[in-house]
Amino acid sequence: MNLELFLLLATALFCIGLFGALTQQSVVMLMMGLELMLGGVIVAAAAAWHYIAPAAAEGQVLVVLAVTAMALEMAIGFAVVTALFRSREIDMTDMAAELKE
């Protein structure tokens, strides 16, 4: 186990999440992709704390920041889906883009 392995794991999670965020049409599935990307960020931040500067607490603060970002993204995402669904009965990004025009 070393820093590189943890960072490679983080990269793998980030890229899978990016794939989901780019391809999924459903807003909720798109949010799942974003969650996976943030999961990768958490692993990378924790690994950087452990292997580079364990004496400083900033790495841990970065993990707290990423976890909070995850929670906010989820809450706002669901609120947007609820608003979209209520006004237009849709849950797909393509339909939302079409109806804008």
Partner 1 sequence: MLSEVAFWGLAALAVAGGVMVFRFDSMARATFALLTSLLCVGGEVLLLGLDYLGIVIVLMMTIEMAIMAVFMIMYMMNPAGLTPMTMMHNKQGATAICAAAFVLLAAGILSTPWPARRGKPPTDATMDLGMSLMGPQMLTMMTLGMALFATIVATVVLATRRGRYDRLGDSLRAPSTDDPIRGGVGR
The residues with which 88 forms a beta bridge, in sequence order, are none
98 binds partner 1 (CB under 8 A): no
* Nearest to partner 1 of 57, 101 (CB atom): 57
Q: What angle separates helix 27-51 from helix 58-88, to the nearest 10 degrees?
A: 180
- Residue 11's alpha-carbon distances to 14, 22, 33, 44, 100, in angstroms, are 5, 16, 13, 8, 35
**DSSP letter (8 states) at residue 92:** B
34 binds partner 1 (CB under 8 A): no
19 binds partner 1 (CB under 8 A): yes
Residues of this chain that interact with partner 1 (CB under 8 A) are 1, 3-9, 11-20, 22-26, 28-29, 32-33, 35-36, 39, 42-43, 46-47, 49-58, 60-61, 63-65, 67-68, 70-72, 74-76, 78-83, 85-86, 91-92, 94
